[in-house]
Amino acid sequence: MALIVYGGSISPFVRKVRVMLAEKGVEYKLDQVSPFAPPPEFLAISPLKRIPVLRDTDIPGDNNTLPDSSIICDYLEHKFPKPALYPADPFERARALWYEEYADSVMAQNIGRGLFFERIVKKMMRGQPDEDVCQKTLTQELPPLFDHLEKEVAGKEYLAGGMFSIADISVGTMIVNMVHSGEAIDHRRWPKFGAYIDRVHARPSFKAMIDEETPLITRFRAA
């Protein structure tokens, strides 16, 4: 197997890489690694102790790993250029990268820490969620982000370059973790953004990930 992805499947960043690979039709092996209890050999290839890490065994020697989902996705785009998942136009490509950063930073911080960590990760660690944190996230932190994205998707099928791209993968994967946390986009308040997320999550690449992850998530949400 030429490619190995190290990381937990319910991580939005691991899912981002896996959706990229699925869209390109590239085979790979997923090696499940928990960021909370990683083995020593994983720490040796992940300087920041984060998932995912990609290993490309086509490259000889031991120096054949890449950490960070954004770096990995850029590498995959160059190694497997068809179908393209980054716009060819320089400005639109830059816009796609901006949306990726928006998702990886502010969306990840609020959805990850404010919902997914509280309702899923804490239960995995036999803790109790702090619903005050969740409600603050839902009522104060996320609405301005969704207001912005509602405007950004207006009149467009996808976010950048008139095509499904890394921008949509990055935003879509964060909303999967919101759904896993028991929440959903309010289509009455954000109809355009809600319809956009429905389109993204209906793609076979996303649907396969969601279907794979849901039984595990359901078990922990019921705990």
Q: Span 60-69, mean pLDDT?
A: 93
| DSSP conformation letters of 95-149 | HHHHHHHHIIIIIIIIIIIIIIIIIIIHHHTT----HHHHHHIIIIIHHHHHHHH
pTM metric for this prediction: 0.96
Helices vs. strands in the chain: H and E counts, helices first: 10, 4
Looking at the fold, whether 23 and 102 belong to one and the same domain comes out as no
- pLDDT for the residue 221: 74
- pLDDT for the residue 38: 87
Looking at the fold, whether 40 and 14 belong to one and the same domain comes out as yes
The number of domains in the chain is 2
Looking at the fold, whether 23 and 74 belong to one and the same domain comes out as yes
Residues 39-64 have pLDDT tens digits of 888 989 999 889 999 999 999 888 99
- pLDDT for the residue 214: 95
Do 198 and 184 touch, CB atoms closer than 8 A? Answer: no
pLDDT of residue 133 exceeding 80, the answer is yes
Do 156 and 164 touch, CB atoms closer than 8 A? Answer: no
Do 180 and 217 touch, CB atoms closer than 8 A? Answer: yes
- pLDDT for the residue 1: 58
- Smallest CA-to-CA distance from 134 within 113, 148, 158, 162 is with 113
Give the 3-state secondary structure of residue 20. Answer: helix
Looking at the fold, whether 197 and 125 belong to one and the same domain comes out as yes
Looking at the fold, whether 110 and 148 belong to one and the same domain comes out as yes
Q: In whole angstroms, what is the distance from residue 101 CA to residue 197 CA?
A: 18
Looking at the fold, whether 57 and 160 belong to one and the same domain comes out as no
Last residue of a domain, one of 24, 59, 79: 79
| DSSP conformation letters of 146-169 | HHHHHHHTTT-SSSBTTB--HHHH
Residues 161-191 have pLDDT tens digits of 999 999 999 999 999 999 999 999 999 999 9
Q: What is the mean pLDDT of the chain?
A: 95
Q: Where are the beta strands (DSSP E) in 18-120?
A: 29-31, 53-56, 65-67
- pLDDT for the residue 126: 82
| Stronger pLDDT, 219 or 206, i.e. the higher one | 206
The whole domain housing 178 covers: 90-222
Q: How confident is the model at residue 220 (pLDDT cuts 50, 70, 90)?
A: confident
Torsion, CA 8, CA 123, CA 184, CA 156, rounded to 10 = -20
Residues 87-103 have pLDDT tens digits of 999 999 999 999 999 99
Q: Span 147-164, mean pLDDT?
A: 97
Domain membership of residue 85 (yes or no) is no
Q: Where are the beta strands (DSSP E) in 42-83?
A: 53-56, 65-67
pLDDT of residue 34 exceeding 70, the answer is yes
Q: In whole angstroms, what is the distance from residue 120 CA to residue 124 CA?
A: 6
Looking at the fold, whether 122 and 187 belong to one and the same domain comes out as yes
CB atoms within 10 A of CB 116: 27
pLDDT of residue 8 exceeding 90, the answer is yes
Q: In whole angstroms, what is the distance from residue 139 CA to residue 132 CA?
A: 11
